[in-house]
A and B are shown apart, each in its own frame.
Chain A
């Protein structure tokens, strides 16, 4: 786990959907303790790339390496087990469950371990306790921790989804437009969470259209256009224009 080696590395990734060549040889490295902004216009291939990393799609060509070793990420569950957490744009929350139940859904704490997973008994109290301590640690403010998520605001839901990722993330956290639907104050809270994820030693991949957030938060920015990587630089106020022209492809 030396710093000399990226925790996640995509090598020459290709992905086609029928006639559409969505990724045309994209390479990308992500390092522990850094926020990598993934930029690009709509249809540039950001979401496709991210879905390949999180196990929703499989690359047609190229490979994904985790800590230097080729990783098999055929399903979202496998990616998750490998230490890659994804906060999807639609959040993938269960409206009918409480925050704690959402946190552990699909990997419930349960016993006895010799039974098949589905037949085990829930350790509800342990899960509630763990979830409460995570919510406390991340300073997420919820109206009631025992109410279903359906009753919570967009920002609270976003915070729950990000907090869920922090519970389990061990290597990579992918955030797909985490602030797109939020007001200023709620965005701020989510950005604080992103920082915390990074400080806990994860590689954070952030997809966003908000240049302010990129400059504020990202250590590095990779720009995609038409399925290719067209630029990689450290985002600063001074090169904001350059970033924008890379994204829209207006020479620059």
Chain B
């Protein structure tokens, strides 16, 4: 900056500054590539898989992928907000299971779809509230422990409450319709994903609340100093993650026409993986719903492809694990490159 006041440069410093400018450009290009990395990898995956197996791109199969991805995608959007605030929610899977059981119990008493849905959403949100409130007001150092505790508690409650401690058949027609395909082979659950995405988009991009979640994730200490009610921001974030688990419960119950304490097994790992694979930062403060969606679709695509190719389930797990390592390393690399970008800014200012 301030080029006008700069001393006349000799040829060697000109060359040095040129080199520095090139380095800075390289760093910026690298950062941009990293930002688009997950989408790029997804596109490459789709191309590679469709070459390997022609069934992959058939409309029926794409409909399958969308239906199978819907629950992960919905719950991952809640998980993404929690990770954005430097947290983690291990309870989402068990929370979802408990929510379906609650819905199932209400269904045994009444056929009313609104009441069944309300029970699932309410149960999910309540668990989320407990997570957030105990984490914040119980002054826990990290949400890992409390959400691990609620994982166990929800699982136990779901087993206890469900009749015969197992799957209960039956859901109102207005819920099972979510498991059907109505329009151009697109599963109805896909529209629920779109709806949740729209809500998240408004919450994070247009509302003060969303700005605060980014602030809390970016610099918690500064958030306090700037007068942001960070405790309530955190509690509401966990509540929203719980609500997403409840919505996921409605969609899953709709697809299966049942409720079960066994649902949502390992969903916490799938959603965390989706968020990280999608390109959000595990360190907090970075990420948007696109990351959760891309990551969820990537997991869905990998599972589906390996199924079509008759690859064993445990290779799927290994593949997803390897991709997580890759994604986390990409995050580390991004932080490193940002440091370089900062340094080159400072150099240009001198």
Contacts and interface: CB of A to CB of B under 8 A. Distances in A.
Interface string A138-161: 000101000000111111100000
A187 B345 CA distance: 15
A96 B218 CA distance: 6
A80 interface: yes
B350 A185 contact: yes
A122 B207 contact: yes
Interface in A60-85: 75-77, 80-81
Given A96-B286, A105-B228, A153 B345 contact: yes
Nearest to B347: A153
Interface string B99-135: 0000000000000000000000000000000000000
Contacts of B346: 153-155, 183
B29 to A, nearest CB: 14
Contact of B349 (A101, A118, A151, A155): A155
Interface string B195-217: 00000000000111101101101
A4 B238 CA distance: 52
Contacts of A86: 225
B349 A153 contact: yes
Interface stretch (A26-34, A87-95, A236-244): A87-95
Interface in B276-290: 285-286
Contacts, number: 110
B208 A117 contact: yes
B227 A108 contact: no
**What is the predominant secondary structure among interface residues of chain B facing chain A?**
helix
Nearest to A117: B208
A156 B346 CA distance: 8
Interface in B178-237: 206-209, 211-212, 214-215, 217-219, 221-229, 232-233, 236
B2 interface: yes
Nearest to B222: A92
A64 B272 CA distance: 49
Contacts of B338: 150-151
A92 B207 contact: no
Contact of B222 (A56, A94, A107): A94
Contact of A152 (B218, B226, B233, B345): B345
Given A97-B218, A155-B349, A186-B349, A105 B226 contact: yes
Given A94-B219, A153-B345, A56 B214 contact: no
A106 B349 contact: no
Interface of B: 1-2, 206-209, 211-212, 214-215, 217-219, 221-229, 232-233, 236, 285-286, 338, 341-343, 345-346, 348-350
| 6 A-B pairs with the lowest CB-CB distances in the bound complex, closest first | A77-B227, A106-B226, A153-B346, A92-B222, A153-B345, A94-B218
Interface of A: 56, 75-77, 80-81, 86, 88, 90, 92-97, 101, 105-108, 110, 117-122, 141, 143, 150-156, 183, 185-186
